Amino acid sequence: MLDSLRVRIELEADDDVTLQFKAFLQARGAVSGTCPTTVAALWESLTVLARLAMRAGKTKVAVDNAQQYRDAFARSTSQPIVQFGIQRSSSRVQLLVIITRAQPSTPLYTENPMRILLTNDDGIHAPGIAALHAAIHDMGEVVTIAPADAQSAAGHGITFHTPLMVAEVSPNAHMKGFAVDGRPADCVKVGLRRIWPDLFGDGALPDIVISGMNSGANVGINVIYSGTVAAAVESAFLGVPAIAVSLHIGGGAPHWRRAAEIARHAINQVMKHRIEPHSVININIPRTHTAECALPPMKVVTMNTAAGIDNYERRVSPAGQVYYWPSGDGMKFFHTKAGTDVEALNERFITITPLQYDLTNYESLAPWRDRLA
């Protein structure tokens, strides 16, 4: 039975085609050279690849085992994996795409017990992480590594010039963990690089990192500020798939246990499918104020990108110093685009947003190369 299909493209030193095709694959879920796909999507990808190669001119395209691929893979229930790499020399660029047979398209997370690193940005003693720990503890072996104190809106800051003090703590009778005197991204960095290997052996990694449950929604542009999301992104940097979970507080006190039950449901639904190693899924739970709150529907949405409306009240201290006190609930934006996370969360959907950390504007590469040539 066929194991792989190789597509080789060689072209002159202009490597726009490789960048365009890489962007094309990444738009369909590829990160760091690996992309799960369907047979139909794969043939679409190969069609685009051939078209881009033809446009580049002076190219050589070689496809091995194409007919066998159609016969063997098209009938298979397996989920093919596309891997791509780029090699450059002084005069030529070679793009190699390899399609290999993967395991059947069943959930990745089937080992028992699964190992989960749990973190947050509200601190290890926050009610949200305790509630989420209680909701997911039966999913496998959960190790909590979280900031020693609140780090809300810490973004992706990390600690360079001071040591990271780590203490084993027991926030409640059912939860133990490691309190890190640092930021959320620090917790994941030191957790994956040192604490996890110390616990489970050299080279060991968790199956997934879950960050949350945050007190407050992380939708729209707030995703950029969020320490909760940053912890998940740090995990993705290091090759471990991650889920960020946040609760829209709104007016009134949240019912943390019910919110965590809803979060567990959303996590279960997401984890029925493969999450790639360098991927982040951002989940937001609607306002949950009572134990009777119904299970909301889920919606996969994009991130709203309008700036938030921030207010600063001018005050004067007793010593006569002027200062500005920030106010606002973090959910007011200059506009809310239809079909985005902000709109869906306000409509009481559980929002699911896949995130990526490559900030390159691929559409602008060619124009800027022309301008600066």
- Take residue 57 and report the two structure tokens written for it: 């001119």
Cβ–Cβ under 8 Å, residues 190 and 182: yes
Please check whether residue 121 is in contact with residue 231, taking contact to mean a CB–CB distance below 8 angstroms: yes
- What's CA 219's distance to the chain center, in Å? 13
Which residues on neighbouring strands pair with residue 208, listed in sequence order?
116
Q: What is the DSSP letter of 332?
A: -
pLDDT given for residue 65 in this prediction: 42
- Give the whole-angstrom CA distance, residue 240 versus residue 224: 20
* Whether 307 contacts 333, CB under 8 Å: yes
CATH of 114-355, one of 3.40.50.11310, 3.40.1210.10, 3.40.190.10, 3.30.2290.10: 3.40.1210.10
Beta-carbon-side half-sphere exposure of residue 228 (alpha carbons within 13 Å) = 29
Question: Rounded CA gap, 215 and 132, in Å?
Answer: 12
Q: Which two tokens stand for residue 223?
A: 């995703």
* 280-285: strand order across its sheet: 166-172, 175-180, 140-147, 114-119, 208-215, 242-247, 280-285, 350-355, 298-300
Instruction: Give residue limits of the domains in the chain.
Output: 4-105, 114-355
How would you class 360 by CB atoms within 10 Å of its CB: exposed for 0-12, middle for 13-18, buried for 19 or more? exposed
The helix/strand/coil state of 126 is coil
Evaluate whether 120 touches 234 at the Cβ level (below 8 Å): no
CA atoms within 13 A of residue 304's CA, in its CB half-sphere = 25
Contact 246, 284 (CB under 8 A): yes
Q: Are 262 and 296 in contact (CB under 8 A)?
A: yes
Using the structure block, give the residue that is written with the tokens 């989920």. 79
Instruction: Encode burial over 69-78: b for 16+ CB neighbours within 10 A, e otherwise.
Output: beebbeebee
Please give the pLDDT value at position 52. 55
pLDDT in the model for residue 53: 52
Instruction: Please give the Cα distance from 231 to 369 (Å, whole number).
Output: 34
> Which residue ranges in the chain fall short of pLDDT 70?
1-112
